[in-house]
Amino acid sequence: MRKPTRRTETGRGERVLPGVWRLRLPLPWAAVPHCNAWALARGDGIALVDCGMALPGSLRDLERALEQVGFALEDVRLLVCTHAHVDHCGQAAAVQERSGCELWIHPRHEHLTAALDDREAALARRIEIARESGVPEAPLQEWAEGRRGQGTGMSGPLAIARDLLPGVVVESDLGDWHVYETPGHAPSHVVLHQPERRLLLSGDHVLGRISLYFDHGWTPDPVGEFLGSLDVVDALDVRLTLSGHGRPFTDLHGHVEGSRALVRERLDGVRAALHERGEATAFELLPPVYGDKLAPETAAWLLTKMLCYVEHLERAGSVRRLDGEPMRWSPA
Ligand SMILES: [Zn+2]
Ligand SMILES: [Zn+2]
């Protein structure tokens, strides 16, 4: 997993549009140094979309970002999370404690909450999958030790008042935001669309700097689901996208196309590597497919994605899984 780095930054708030503020919050990950929460004007307070990860000092970061745009935690009237990853919902309990607001999130959050309910079991399962995927024992044990030493990134359990599903409307002074399910990055992922202002809160589904991630093991085909979810947002009328990381961007269609192209590139890479080698484990496919992106701190993250890619290709009938352990794939 991504290695923790020392926090040198604090939260920052800035107005993006009248009634919409970006709250940029530091993260302890070298590859992903910030996340965004979004404040939407709502009556005498704000609706908050996402809230950052719980870390020592992180609530103060959120407070500082809010203060910079004229609000306090007590002004949060509703907290909505785009998906159940800790950098998006980690501080939910702390925000609720201060503001008394409700939390709305998609009901398929077990990819986070089941792991929190039994961390040792969740870690054991990941170790088992990594072993089956051909990861050698020494780096695997080192990774597991590092994981054991990390916090959960959560300020408390999720206390959910309402399932964030299509048909649910998030009210703001700019108008209503409509929910679209966009699984793939995570089974619980949704985006919020404001049709009159043509705005999209895209979470991690479509990012300004294209990068992909899929939760593995909770749904049959995260890569296929992600591609379907790209079609969902591509059909929306959007002039400005407010994403979970990075700056707002205008060319949603271009970013959707870029995301599709990157998926294709990775799938082509997996197929080419399997053709060249005849057969390989998911772990053995990492160097040919990811090249110098592969590093000790990214390996677990890339392996998760690789499993999603090979399983997608297996479903499509272009690769097949061979008998025996560790899991090996060959061209079909
Ligand atoms: Zn995420
Ligand atoms: Zn994120």
Q: Around ion ligand 2, which residues have CB less than 5 A away?
A: 87, 204, 244
The yes-or-no verdict on residue 45 having pLDDT over 90 is: yes
Report the pLDDT value the prediction gives residue 69, as an integer from 0 to 100. Answer: 98
pLDDT tens digit string along 72-111? 999 999 999 999 999 999 999 999 999 999 999 999 999 9
Average pLDDT over residues 4-11: 66
Which tens digit of pLDDT belongs to each residue from 151-198?
A: 899 999 999 999 999 999 999 999 999 999 999 999 999 999 999 999
Rounded-to-10 torsion of CA 215, 21, 95, 103 = -60
- Quote the ligand 1 centre to 11 CA distance (angstroms): 19
| Residue 236 alpha carbon to ligand 2 centre in Å | 22
Task: Give the Å distance between the CA of 35 and the centre of ligand 2.
Answer: 6
CA of 181 to the centre of ligand 2 (A): 16
Measured in Å, residue 330 CA sits from the centre of ligand 1 at 31
Whether the pLDDT of residue 17 is over 70: the answer is yes
Q: Which ligand ends up closest to the CA of 184? A: 1
pLDDT at 298: 86
**How close is the Cα of 323 to the center of ligand 2, in Å?**
36
Q: How confident is the model at residue 9 (pLDDT cuts 50, 70, 90)?
A: confident
Q: What is the pLDDT of residues 114-145, one digit of tens each?
A: 989 899 999 999 999 999 999 999 989 988 88
Residue in 106, 78, 111 with CA at minimum distance from that of residue 92: 78
Q: Tell me, what's the pLDDT at 1?
A: 43
Mean pLDDT value of segment 17-23:
98
Nearest bound ligand to the CA of residue 207: 2
